[in-house]
Amino acid sequence: MISARVSKALFKSFQDLATQHGQTVSAELGRAVQSWVKRHESPRLHNSRLAHTISVLADGIERLTGHSWMDHSPTRQIVRAYVERLVADVLSPLAKPVTIPAEVKEEAEPLLAVLIHATGSRRLAGTVIVDDPELAILAHDLALRWGTEPNVETRPALVARRKKQREKK
């Protein structure tokens, strides 16, 4: 149990999130703390650093152009080009080619599709149903941040099936 003082505005934000996710405020606070801890765990810091570096690059380019990449084509083009260069350099090719396991590709492809869907840049038709409740919540939150319809859901039967499949491995 954690006791904390939060502003009325922050508490209201948690109430709104709890309503959106169909949870109690306590459950939403627990999810937020868990997400924060996961984000700052040392094994995952490299992902936060990569995202932050991309953000710094995009912010810098927007300052140079005086425009947001969201609504200014030349700024969008240069941000895209420089982010591609940055990622290509940070994730430079390995010395030897590696084989990516089929099951990783099978899991990564729909993950990418759901994230792209949540950003609104390429929408999938209808309600997107996934078998991972955490991904559904993250995609929902991401869609809200991008101002798109948060129509990613999960079903208990799918979650149970996924859990059984993982236990077999």
Domain locations along the chain: 99-169
H-type alpha helices, the chain: 8-21, 25-40, 45-65, 73-90, 102-119, 133-146, 156-168
- Tell whether pTM > 0.85: no
For 81-112, write each residue's pLDDT tens digit: 999 999 999 998 888 989 999 989 988 998 99
How large is the C-alpha radius of gyration of the chain?
19
Enumerate residues 6+ apart whose C-beta is below 8 A from 126. Answer: 151
> What is the per-residue pLDDT for 61?
97
